[in-house]
Amino acid sequence: MNTGSQKTQMEAKAINYQKLLAFPLAMVMIGTVFIGSALASTAQDVADNACPINSLVNEIVVNSAAEQATNNSQGSSYNITIVVITNFPERLKVYKNGFVIFTALVNTGVPAAPTPYGTFYVYKKLVTRTMSGTNPDGSHYSDPGVPWVMYFYYGCAIHGFVRSHYGFAQSVGCVEMRPSKAQRLFPLIPVGTKVIIE
């Protein structure tokens, strides 16, 4: 047996394994840079779209990116879907196993600060939250104690909010409903629930 030849073959295999292991690590590092820059630009886009962005926007963005993949797979297993209908009167319906189990009149974003259309997943729930940001007219707002918050897209959430009327666009991107309705909805919705805005 030629031990020198075997040693050379083993060294070559070790080098190939190192290369093989280095490639995914490089891809992860490149992906991290790419995702980080994409999240930074997306956070700016969200801020420009006037969805409420508070001081924890980085936490929200990171949680959204990290949890979204998990929640996408979990969301379908809950058999619960929230559908927000944005034509007048605006309303929210919750379906469980194909049956409506909850309805409420809601307010979505005004044309200058619209609620995003599409399919999302609830990625964070908070019993109460201070929401702050910029109104479409450039003025700033800070609303402490916003109740029953269910984030589904960066700073956009379904939550309770006191208004004199419901059923038409008047928020800065969130989906608002009567606080008493939001309180009833909150325990029905696990993280990972699908949200369809149409």
pLDDT tens digits, 83-125: 999 999 999 999 999 999 999 999 999 999 999 999 999 999 9
Say if residue 77 is exposed, middle or buried (CB neighbours under 10 Å; 0-12, 13-18, 19+). Answer: exposed
* Number of Cβ within a 10 Å radius of residue 192: 20
**Is 155 within 8 Å of 192 (Cβ atoms)?**
no
Residue 177 pLDDT > 50, yes or no? yes
Closest of 31, 161, 53, 25 to residue 104, by C-alpha: 161
- Indicate the domain borders of the chain: 1-48, 57-197
> What pLDDT is attached to residue 18?
44
C-alpha dist (Å) from residue 188 to 47, 102, 156, 157: 29, 9, 19, 15
CATH T-level assignment (fold) for domain 57-197: L,D-transpeptidase catalytic domain-like (2.40.440)
Residue 57 pLDDT > 90, yes or no? no
Average pLDDT over residues 71-87: 71
Say whether the peptide bond before residue 52 is cis (omega within 30 degrees of 0): no
Residue 42 pLDDT > 60, yes or no? no
**Is 133 within 8 Å of 112 (Cβ atoms)?**
no
**Is 190 within 8 Å of 80 (Cβ atoms)?**
yes
> What pLDDT is attached to residue 81?
93
pLDDT tens digits, 152-167: 999 999 999 999 999 9
> What pLDDT is attached to residue 140?
94
Banded model confidence at residue 78, pLDDT cuts 50, 70, 90 = low
Mention every residue, 6+ apart, whose C-beta is less than 8 A from residue 47: 53, 57, 133, 134, 155
C-alpha dist (Å) from residue 43 to 2, 14, 37, 48: 61, 43, 10, 9
> What pLDDT is attached to residue 20?
39
- For the chain, what is the mean pLDDT? 74
Position 180: which residue type?
S
**Is 110 within 8 Å of 136 (Cβ atoms)?**
yes
> What pLDDT is attached to residue 51?
60
Residue 151 pLDDT > 80, yes or no? yes
> What pLDDT is attached to residue 79?
86
Average pLDDT over residues 12-23: 43
